[in-house]
A = this chain, B = another copy of it.
Amino acid sequence: MTSSTNMRLRLPLLCIILEVILIILFGTLVEYNDDTHAKLWNENRTDSATRNDHENEFYYRYPSFQDVHVMIFVGFGFLMTFLQRYGFSSVGFNFLIAAFSLQWATLMQGFFHGLHHGKIHVGVTSMINADFCTGSVLISFGAVLGKTSPVQLLVMAIFEVTLFAVNEFILLSILGVNDAGGSMTIHTFGAYFGLMVTRVLYRPNLDKSKHRNSSVYHSDLFAMIGTIYLWMFWPSFNSAITNYGDPQHRTAMNTYYSLAACTLATFAFSALVNPEGKLDMVHIQNAALAGGVAVGTAGEMMLTAFGSMIVGFLAGTISVLGYKYLTPVLESKLKIQDTCGIHNLHGMPGVLGAVVGAVTAALASPDVYGHGLQRVFADVETGKWNPQSRGGFQAISLAVTLGMALFGGLITGFILKLPIYGAPPDTHCFEDGLYWEVPGEEEGHQELYEVATPNEVEKLSS
């Protein structure tokens, strides 16, 4: 049974058990918050004549939430459809683990972010935060794409969401740092967690599936749907949970400029590193997004448009160079098989974003921010604010995040290595047919999508 990839019992059992646990915990622990509760919202209103329905946080957060939601489900989902025979799994498993993670994240984040009389309060802001946490899991998914069963992915999500919430709590609540767009909490954490998992799950014989580990013409176009949606809505992502007013507005704009500059860098270096000067879809699909990652921390600060453009340009550059020169080395020397190259899109740009955030925080001054200083740096009000120590805490947060991610990925990797999850054999990685009913192509192509039955797989992999 261990080498069988048959999901008939494992996947339903796990999904049903998890959902039942979630429902029980939600029933016990979760309540509507003041803005979603019929009684509480209208009670408060009676108290104060000036409050009206238009002030419900729904109207100021929900459009951002929907943009983030599109990034999570369409953006990440389609970005990973670039593989020639892994489109169903890319979109489908993305869908599954995201739907699970957002529920689990609501509980974990609610627990750490502060209970209200023992209850977790939910509303649109918790929905955004849950989607953020989910994003981190999907980043890690990119590293192990094509080499894991859906059961493994759900198990990974259980652990990763939990550790994400712990790390986020340390950074935002204990260290009190800024990371609205998640350069550290989401991107750096998700990337190094995933890289460590894929390191532990190293497959020396993965080249047996090498012929499927590449794109075809139309799969690259599907992937561009993911890329473009991520690119367009990244300004909403980075600004979704900043304070209202100038911080949210500024964050969106800084991200917009960073991404625009990043795109030019990506095209420039993609052509430059190719002997014939041809552009590589892998770079365009991924590196052009690095500019959004790299302003995830500093975006809400007074980074200025041209500062954002410099950061974006750098991010695009290191990302393309990473794909070209670093990824092959990581695989051959460090045995890190990173299917989507998340180290180049989320890892290095996330670290860059953390550093830029630390520097920008250290340079903050009342001269520049005026009364807006306390809107960005929460500890100004408590009188504890000091730009240098702020910068220092930001830097410490990066170290904490890297440590948590690598340690968490290590443990999780070993758990995922147990031979009980129906992982694909080396010969059938990057292949939808293992877990999906796959239709034939038009007549004459059917043989392409014929895959071994589970029994044959057992034989093959034994």
Contact = CB atoms under 8 A, between A and B. Distances in A.
Copies of this chain present: 3
Contacts of A22: 261, 309
Contacts of A305: 26, 30, 32, 122
A213 to B, nearest CB: 11
A442 B431 CA distance: 13
B216 A15 contact: no
A277 B433 CA distance: 11
A376 interface: yes
Nearest to A291: B99
A370 B271 CA distance: 58
Contacts of A170: none
B439 A260 contact: no
Interface stretch (A220-228, A326-334, A338-346): A220-228
Contact of A279 (B18, B43, B435): B435
- Tell me whether chain A's interface is mostly helix, strand or loop, or mixed: helix
A74 B221 CA distance: 12
A439 B74 contact: no
A32 B267 contact: no
Interface residues of A, number: 143
Given A38-B246, A245-B56, A267 B67 contact: no
Identify which of A62, A305, A436 gathers the most chain B CB atoms within 10 Å of its CB.
A305
A260 B91 CA distance: 15
A140 interface: no
Contact of A272 (B12, B127, B236, B443): B12
Contacts of A257: 26, 103
B272 A220 contact: no
Identify which of A19, A229, A244 gathers the most chain B CB atoms within 10 Å of its CB.
A19
Given A228-B74, A246-B42, A9 B216 contact: no
A408 B248 CA distance: 39
A113 interface: no
Interface string A32-73: 100111111111011000001111111110110011011001
Interface stretch (A80-88, A174-182, A186-194): A80-88
Interface stretch (A351-359, A397-405, A446-454): A446-454
10 contacts: A12-B269, A16-B268, A32-B302, A32-B304, A74-B232, A91-B221, A100-B263, A124-B253, A214-B439, A216-B442
